[in-house]
Amino acid sequence: MEDIERRGIPRIFCLGDLAGKGPNSAQAVDTIRERCEMVIKGNWDHFLAETMGEEKFAWYQEQLGPKRLEYLKNLPLYTEFYMSGKLIRLCHASPNDLFHRVYLHTETEERMKLFRGTKSLDREADVVGYGDIHGAHIDNFNNKTLFNVGSVGNPLEIPQASYAILEGNYGSMEENPLSISLIRVPYDVELAVSHAEMTDMPHKREYILELRTAKYRGRRKKEKGYSHK
């Protein structure tokens, strides 16, 4: 947030998974709600808001309370706008499917599904930005740009917070230069670890190891790219 402020960035969009995994879900939801102009629903947000009576979600649900869970439940699945002549969609995993997960190495056909038209605008996107896999990257193919913003609180490639900046004429259908930058922000990982240590959160050891190493707890030997559940 300090890095964003220092750069004078006027609007902040959050691409989901506000809550779950970490020790401070309630604080995360409140901060994001206060600071972000647009907030998109993630798969964790969906599960926490919709699944009752499951052990693995109960700790977070108790912390969040009914009002925040209601807020998460009503978040949209995507946002779309024009910038410098490009139609841009931002989502958590895929604009039309919260559980369609693609990686950098996923075949092009599957990744092209992210560009499909939506209920609100039946037109292929030019640029799609997403989250979900905790691995920042940008790729151009088939006259499209697909980028992943990475993760602020649980990065799984470099142990630094990650976000993306889009620069162009917001709301403009006229073609002009557009830039997409991926930013890494060093932060006090051990402070975050100490917050986790103070709680009895589920899977605390695995979480702390992920913060320190940026390696996914469930990564299999042969698996390529980034992964999380």
Minimum CB–partner distance for residue 7 and Mn ion (Å): 26
56 CB contacts (<8 Å, ≥6 apart)? 202
Site string for Mn ion, 43-82 (x = CB under 5 A): x---------------------------------------
Question: Taking CB under 5 A as the criterion, which residues in 7-36 touch Mn ion?
Answer: 17
Q: Which is nearer to Mn ion, 42 or 129 (CB)?
A: 42
Exposed e or buried b per residue across 73-109, where buried means at least 16 C-beta atoms within 10 angstroms of its C-beta: eebebbbbbbbbebbbbbbbbbbbebebbbbeebeee
Minimum Å distance from CB 94 to Mn ion?
11
Structure tokens at 95: 């604009």
Q: Report the residue from 20, 22, 23, 42 that binds Mn ion according to the rule CB under 5 A.
A: 42
Which residue's CB is nearer to Mn ion, number 42 or number 168?
42
Give first-to-last CA distance, the chain, whole Å: 26
Least Cβ distance, residue 48 to Mn ion (angstroms):
12
Residue indicated by tokens 């206060």: 34
Strand partners, 140: 145
Residue 126 in contact with Mn ion, rule: CB under 5 A: no
Phi and psi at residue 98, in whole multiples of 5°?
Answer: -65, -15
- By beta-carbon proximity to Mn ion, the closer residue of 212 and 229 is 229
User: How many residues sit in the footprint of Mn ion (CB under 5 A)?
Assistant: 4
Residues forming contacts to Mn ion in the complex (CB under 5 A) are 17, 42-43, 132
